[in-house]
């Protein structure tokens, strides 16, 4: 099934028919897995996604369990889309809670390894999967609640924003936001549209320009999340909240949700191919690849070492000091542009 989706993503020249094709694939899968609907409570587990579906309530919980930080790789995105599609096709499933099984992180966002050192074709396939994830979640007929039980930067923040309601763990060490600019990349228009729909134009302008990561309290204040609860209560609160949403007749709620979101969804649906081309053109630039390389090396080699380092790209000497948060900078592959290490580390600390 997963391979079928990836093949589909890979081979179709036109993008307009993709959504419905995926729906067909999902439908077939649902027919092949009747256990999902026949049992009162079922559990469907792929390697990286665990779905618990309670027939008595009509609510499924999707646990993301892709170590270490639920990075949204092409493979993981494909798994997520297939799992969502199965639930969407099952008429008895009315609500979905999305949460993480990994400690301290909801999702670290798009996987850098699907963008760094890869062919344009791979980058295109990856980006189509990101689009697909957004289209499916933002347009879901189900009630979707994000149980944000850890940090949620970039693509992780996007995923949570596609849901109908966001409950976050009230732990000041966690953060959430679209921090792309801090990494030298740019959130595309549909990330932006989703955020504008959530927190308004001005907060989005500030957040995206500065690549802001918000503490839970700050996120609540600007409306990026809807509710804060103790870390232990995130999932149970999500389930309780779901009860309120389930009290609304589905057909009326679905028509209303579609009315609110359709214009935003249509904008991407009508421009998927151009959006893929823009992404591939941008991400395969030498300067951007150098930036990604530097970020990756920092992630891989240096995350546990504190002390003095010399940037392998531009020979700038800097000090990696996670605790004091000194304002030393690391090179992003462009001698005139440096990124404060504190910022970089904060962004990525969920991996440390």
By CB under 8 A, tell whether 186 contacts a second copy: yes
> Does 90 engage in binding with a second copy (CB under 8 A)?
no
* Residue 307 annotated as catalytic: no
Q: Residues with Cβ < 8 Å from 153, sequence gap 6 or more?
A: 108, 109, 175, 176, 177, 178, 179, 213, 347, 350
Contacts of 91 (CB under 8 A, 6+ apart): none
Q: Which stretch, 97-105, 113-121, 145-153, 245-253, contacts a second copy (CB under 8 A)? A: 245-253
For 28, 160, 265, 304, the CA distances from 89, given in Å and listed in that order, are 9, 21, 20, 45
Q: What are the phi and psi torsion angles at 214 (to 5°)?
A: -100, 140
110 is catalytic: yes
| 15 interacts with a second copy by CB under 8 A | no
Would you say 102 or 177 has its CB closer to a second copy?
Answer: 177
Q: Which of 155, 156, 211, 333 is catalytic?
A: 155
Paired with 337 in beta bridges are 334
Total chain residues near a second copy (CB under 8 A):
52
Nearer to a second copy, 38 or 247 (CB): 247
If binding is defined by CB under 8 A, does position 170 make contact with a second copy? no
DSSP 243-303: HHHHTS-HHHHHHHHHHHHHHHHHHHHTTHHHHHHHHHHHHTSHHHHHHHHHHHHHHHHST
| 239 touching a second copy, by CB under 8 A | no
Which entry of 159, 179, 208, 268 is annotated as an active-site residue?
179
For residue 217, state whether it binds a second copy (rule: CB under 8 A). Answer: no
The SS3 call for residue 142 is coil
Q: Please list the alpha-helical segments (H only) found in 49-154.
A: 74-89, 120-138
What's the distance, Cα to Cα, between the start and end of the chain in Å? 34
CA-CA-CA-CA torsion sign (152, 212, 208, 127): negative
Determine which residue in the list 252, 286, 315, 323 makes contact with a second copy, applying CB under 8 A.
Answer: 252
Q: Does 275 bind a second copy (CB under 8 A)?
A: no
The one segment of 77-85, 169-177, 248-256, 315-323 that binds a second copy by CB under 8 A: 248-256
182 contacts a second copy (rule: CB under 8 A): yes
Using the rule CB under 8 A, give the single segment among 74-82, 129-137, 251-259, 314-322 that binds a second copy. 251-259
Confirm or reject binding of residue 56 to a second copy (CB under 8 A): no
Judged by CB under 8 A, does residue 163 bind a second copy? no
The verdict on whether 155 is a catalytic residue reads: yes
Q: Tally Cβ neighbours within 10 Å of residue 239.
A: 16
Stated as kind and residue range, the H or E segment containing 166 is: strand 165-169
Binding span for a second copy by CB under 8 A among 22-30, 47-55, 317-325, 338-346? 338-346
**For the chain, what is the largest distance between any 2 Cα atoms, rounded to a whole number of angstroms?**
62
Q: Which 313-332 positions form the footprint of a second copy (CB under 8 A)? A: 329, 332
User: Among residues 102 and 204, whose Cβ is nearest to a second copy?
Assistant: 204
Residue 211 C-beta: closest distance to a second copy, Å: 6
- Residue 131 gets the label, from left (phi > 0), alpha (psi -120 to 50) or beta, of alpha
Kindly list the catalytic residues.
Answer: 110, 155, 179-180
Contact positions vs a second copy (CB under 8 A) = 164-165, 180-187, 189, 192, 196-202, 204-206, 208-211, 223, 226, 244-245, 247-253, 255-257, 259-261, 287, 291, 329, 332, 334, 337, 339-340, 343
């Amino acid at each position: 099934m997963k391979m079928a989706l990836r093949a589909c993503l890979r081979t179709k020249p036109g993008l307009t028919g993709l959504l419905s094709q995926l729906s067909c694939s999902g439908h077939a899968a649902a027919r092949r897995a009747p256990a999902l609907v026949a049992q009162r409570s079922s559990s469907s587990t792929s390697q990286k996604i665990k779905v618990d579906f309670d027939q008595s309530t009509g609510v499924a919980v999707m646990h993301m369990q892709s170590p270490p930080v639920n990075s949204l790789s092409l493979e993981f995105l494909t798994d997520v889309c297939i799992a969502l599609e199965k639930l969407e096709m099952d008429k008895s499933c009315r609500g979905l809670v999305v949460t993480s099984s990994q400690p301290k992180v909801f999702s670290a966002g798009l996987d850098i390894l699907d963008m760094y050192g890869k062919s344009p074709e791979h980058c295109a396939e990856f980006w189509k999967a990101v689009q697909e994830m957004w289209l499916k979640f933002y347009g879901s007929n189900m009630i979707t609640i994000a149980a944000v039980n850890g940090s949620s930067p970039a693509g992780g923040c996007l995923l949570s924003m596609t849901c109908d309601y966001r409950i976050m763990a009230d732990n000041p060490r966690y953060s959430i936001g679209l921090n792309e600019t801090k990494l030298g990349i740019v959130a595309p228009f549909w990330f932006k549209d989703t955020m504008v729909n959530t927190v308004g134009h001005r907060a989005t302008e500030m957040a995206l320009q500065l690549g802001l990561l918000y503490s839970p309290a700050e996120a609540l204040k600007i409306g990026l999340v809807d509710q804060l609860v103790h870390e232990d209560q995130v999932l149970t609160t999500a389930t309780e909240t779901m009860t309120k949403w389930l009290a609304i007749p589905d057909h009326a709620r679905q028509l209303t949700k579609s009315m609110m979101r359709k214009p935003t969804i249509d904008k991407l649906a009508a421009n998927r191919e151009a959006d893929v081309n823009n992404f591939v053109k941008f991400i395969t630039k030498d300067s951007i690849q150098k930036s990604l390389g530097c970020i990756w090396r920092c992630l891989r080699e240096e995350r546990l070492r504190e002390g003095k380092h010399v940037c392998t790209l531009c020979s700038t000497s800097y000090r990696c000091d996670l605790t004091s948060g000194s304002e030393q900078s690391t090179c992003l592959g462009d001698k005139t542009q440096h990124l404060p290490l504190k910022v970089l580390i904060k962004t990525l600390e969920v991996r440390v």
